[in-house]
Structure 1
Amino acid sequence: MLYHPDKNASNPEASELFKEVAYSYSILSDPEKRRQYDSAGFEALDADSMDMEIDLSNLGTVNTMFAALFSKLGVPIKTTISANVLEEALNGTVTVRPLPMGTSVSGKVEKQCAHFFGVTINEQQAESGIVVRVTSTAQSKFKLLYFEQDVNGGYGLALQEDSEKTGKVTSAGMYFLHFQVYRMDSTVNALAMAKDPEGAFFKRLEGLQPCEVSELKPGTHIFAVYGDNFFKTASYTIEAVCAKSHEDTTQKLKDIEAQILRKRNELRQFESEYRKALARYQEVTERYTKEKQSVDELLKQRDGIHSTFTIVKPSNISASGSNLSNGSSSKISGEDSKGESPGEDG
């Protein structure tokens, strides 16, 4: 808390220290990343993308509290899904509740547990497109999961979306609309900010990741809400929506996704131009400083030279003037005395 950027807006050193602490914690809390760091330093971590993902089941209470604190302060710490949840899904032993199209269900799920839902869609709905969204007005952390049917009758994890804070709620969504949609990986932005705060803007769209599934076939599809809070249960509302009744919104999403993708490419080009211009700016500002110092020095030297154009120093002029005046007076007095001599009169 002491070094958090919100409490040190005018102190960049404190902000940088906060980022370093968060960066270091992500290494210490992950055995694999710590092993990589011990063997090859930060370079190995950078090559591995530094995802900052931890398994809460391997953390003690103290470490969990630290993780919760960093998450509360805005550090995007990813968590893995409990192995028990994945195993139960693969075995087909989970309870699946129906979630009819056009309806919503609210509930609370324990941390590292999941509530499963079956969404059944017909051919027309599949053709129109489907959206499944989860929101939490309590701003709980959760994951939205999508499972595919396994050959053995169980369910294998196919997609997952971590909740993100959007306004006053946390939310996550999956959009099966027959065109490419993207999700934002916030850890990419966090790593860019830690490495290069000034250039982080150019990396804001680098976290865009294409969603692997863009459409669903008719039938029943399995989704789950996974509790991702560090201590408390996660409150949520899940809903399944057919895009047929949201055609205008669907088209707007398609357009904005294309615009954002183009903007990402534009930023990549602009970054190169910006850095060249910045380097040139730094070069000319350095020259400006040097030229100013040079001009000031030349003018100072000229003033010094001007001041040496004089016959004598002021103190000598005063003394010489005094002596000259006394000598003249003495000489003139002598001549006057000779003029008044009696011998010359006679």
Structure 2
Amino acid sequence: MRAFGFLSFGHYGGTPAQGGLDARQMLHDAVDIAVGADEIGVNGAYFRVHHFARQSASPMPLLSAAAARTQRIEVGTGVIDMRYENPLYLAEEAAALDLLADGRLALGISRGSPEPADRGWEAFGYHGSTDPRGADIAREKFDLFLRAVRGAPMARAGQQPFMSDAAPGAGLRIEPHSPDLADHVWWGAGSRDSAENVGRMGLNLMSSTLLTEATGESFADLQAEQIDRFRAAYKEAGHTGSPRVSVSRSVFPIIDEQDRMLFGVRPGEGGDQIGIIDGMRSTFGRTFAGEPDQLIEQLRADAAVQSADTLMLTIPSQAGVDLNLHILQSFAEHVAPALGWKPNTEGPVQGDPVA
């Protein structure tokens, strides 16, 4: 395990008197958790993106705020729902943020998970999907986004280009342009087939918190096979870089009695779960909670954790800054070093260009 970070769902709701967070507090807490995690030496601060829900949504303001107040930690998404995005505007925003953050952006993108709204992307002005899940427009828009961040021309200069030295009719790329941004793009894959497609595209793989498959194998083994197929497809497509791979887990080290009271797994809990998502029988990963030695043994036996280079810890973000930093500190001190991790002192994990 070369890196670990936290993945926040950014839940809020209810009143402070009821123990809930409003949106303002959730956002401030998210930045403060990122700042504390950076000081601990955690490698990444990643945030889910949902629409029409009481969760974090438009990610760029949050990522910008987190990047501005940290020095080394990678800031990113897990994942942006491409159905709701203008691909060229997203390319501009992402390039600007990547440059401002000195290459610390890790942009996880996918079709997106189920949302509360029925075809909610149409309320954002994006029509034309013939797929009830919107996968067709998500793919089309992502392909355009990827070409844009790779510097392909997106428009043609006019006959008298204003504020440009381009020749009339010359191709114009999106500006600003971050030369390394394409290497910081991850695709969130929820199946083995989609992971193979990520490999063919030459991107990093962000394996989903659930898999839209249920074969009887454990979640970890399904995910490990997904990662193997991704890497094989990457090589078969002729890519020569070293793509990164992340998996996410809920991991709660039990260090003291408060931890035991909050996170102790009850009998019958802690196994994989099977459910229906988007009409598909899906597998959800288990929650790990226990003494550090027990967690180390379990995570060493997790085939997907061992195959990935980055582990994202899903955190109970609505529980406040102090508790979440306690979880991250406990993992960093008592579990992660035994898995091969060293505190982040230099910046994001670097690999060879993936594209």
The two structures have a TM-score, normalised by structure 1, of 0.24
| Higher relative helix content | 1
Q: Whose Rg is larger?
A: 1
The two structures have a TM-score, normalised by structure 2, of 0.23
